[in-house]
Amino acid sequence: MTNLYKFMGADIIDKLMMDETHIGIKFSHLHEYNDPYEFFLTIDFNRGSDELAFYNEMIGMVTKQPATCFTKSPVIPPMWAHYAGNSSGFVIEINEEKFKKYLDEIGFQDHSSIADVEYKDSPDTGIEDILARAFHICKPRYIYWLQSCIMTAAYLTKQTCWSYEQERRVIINEKALTKLNDNLMLLPVPINCITGVIVGHKSNDLLKQKIQSLAKKAKCRYFEMVIGKTTTTPFLLSQNLKSHQFINGNIIPASRQCKKCYEPLNMENKVCGWCGITNHDVKMAEYRNSFRMIANYGGLDKYISSMNNITEEYNKGK
């Protein structure tokens, strides 16, 4: 089962529902996106002004469809930071197959596409030959092929520095959207396409209540994102305090979890290593710390200063 994940700030929740059975997903034109190099990986721009003018003519014809961005994972910390209010917002999980079926029902399956973004740092050289043919020969078939290449490159390529997003884009005919004003276009999406909602670990109680209400209305799963202590990947906690992990594209229950902090375990213990620390462990850690012994005799500052000098001399000799 393939799912799409949409990160949102806490302020969106009061504007999310378009009516009792649909949420609104915002679509934008590419020039409105936050990547200043959104069109940069289509062709090599080190060329004559006449070819660049022709390229502008072509790209102006193929980038008129609005798009929206999803990701393939709900547990990417930078995504929570950048797109969900520094983890104070939420994520909506949408089943891709249900979403495609809905697009088909409203007559836009053939006027939309869903695809992964490819990450690279230079344009595809394969487009150069097609560009040359279209520019010099001007036959309609070459222009058709060129526009197809440009559209794919413009909509579905980004620099590798953005690869952490694991982005998947939906491109659609603007006629499918509800235009609320000159700056806001929404696609009504049935709530039965929603299979899960996740609140960030910094979300407040009011947002949690509103997201729980949405989960109840959509009859989907509700999770809270938790920052664990043993890995850099967050885990998800359900309302019944059952831990879940995101594995192979799906949110699944953890086979074992700590009885105290609920973090998933990969060992047979009842608690994780951190929650299992005893007073005896603390005392033994202090006993093994030789700096404490030196400090008790008042010599720690002198010892550290001496070691700093030795280290500095050693580094000079390298």
58 shares a domain with 172:
yes
Domain contains 222: yes
282 shares a domain with 188:
no
Domain contains 250: no
Domain contains 306: yes
199 shares a domain with 311:
no
Domain contains 175: yes
160 shares a domain with 65:
yes
127 shares a domain with 27:
yes
Work out the mean pLDDT of the chain and round it to a whole number.
92
142 shares a domain with 35:
yes
* Contact criterion met (CB below 8 Å) for 130 and 146: yes
CA-to-CA distance for 157 and 154, rounded, in angstroms?
6
309 shares a domain with 188:
no
Domain contains 159: yes
> What pLDDT score does 41 carry?
60
Higher pLDDT, 124 or 180: 180
Which residues touch 242 (CB under 8 Å, ≥6 apart)?
A: 253, 254, 257
20 shares a domain with 159:
yes
Beta strands in the chain (DSSP E): 3-8, 17-19, 22-27, 67-71, 90-95, 112-116, 118-119, 157-158, 167-172, 178-181, 184-190, 194-199, 221-226, 235-238, 243-247, 250-253
Cα–Cα distances (Å) from 282 to 81, 286, 300, in that order, read 34, 6, 21
Domain contains 148: yes
The 8 Å CB, 24+ separation contacts for 207-216 are 207/10, 207/13, 207/88, 207/89, 207/90, 210/13, 210/14, 211/13, 211/90, 212/239, 214/13, 214/16, 214/17
Domain contains 16: yes
State both tokens at 169: 């884009």
> What pLDDT score does 153 carry?
84
Which of 197, 227, 257 is at the close of a domain? 227
308 shares a domain with 221:
no
State both tokens at 81: 């930071």
Q: Which of 228, 184, 227, 230 is nearest to 203 (CA)?
A: 227
How many beta carbons lie within 10 A of that of residue 10, not counting itself?
Answer: 20
- pLDDT level of residue 221 (50, 70, 90 thresholds): very high
Q: Which of 190, 215, 222, 207 is nearest to 95 (CA)?
A: 190
Q: Give the total number of structural domains in the chain.
A: 2
122 shares a domain with 11:
yes
Segment 285-318, tens digit of pLDDT: 999 999 999 999 999 999 999 999 999 999 988 7
Domain contains 237: no
Segment 79-123, tens digit of pLDDT: 999 999 999 999 999 999 999 999 999 999 888 899 999 998 888
Q: Is the pLDDT of residue 36 over 70?
A: no
β-bridge partners, 17:
23
Domain span at residue 49 reads 3-227
162 shares a domain with 83:
yes
- pLDDT level of residue 135 (50, 70, 90 thresholds): confident
289 shares a domain with 187:
no
C-alpha dihedral (112, 113, 114, 120), degrees to nearest 10: -130
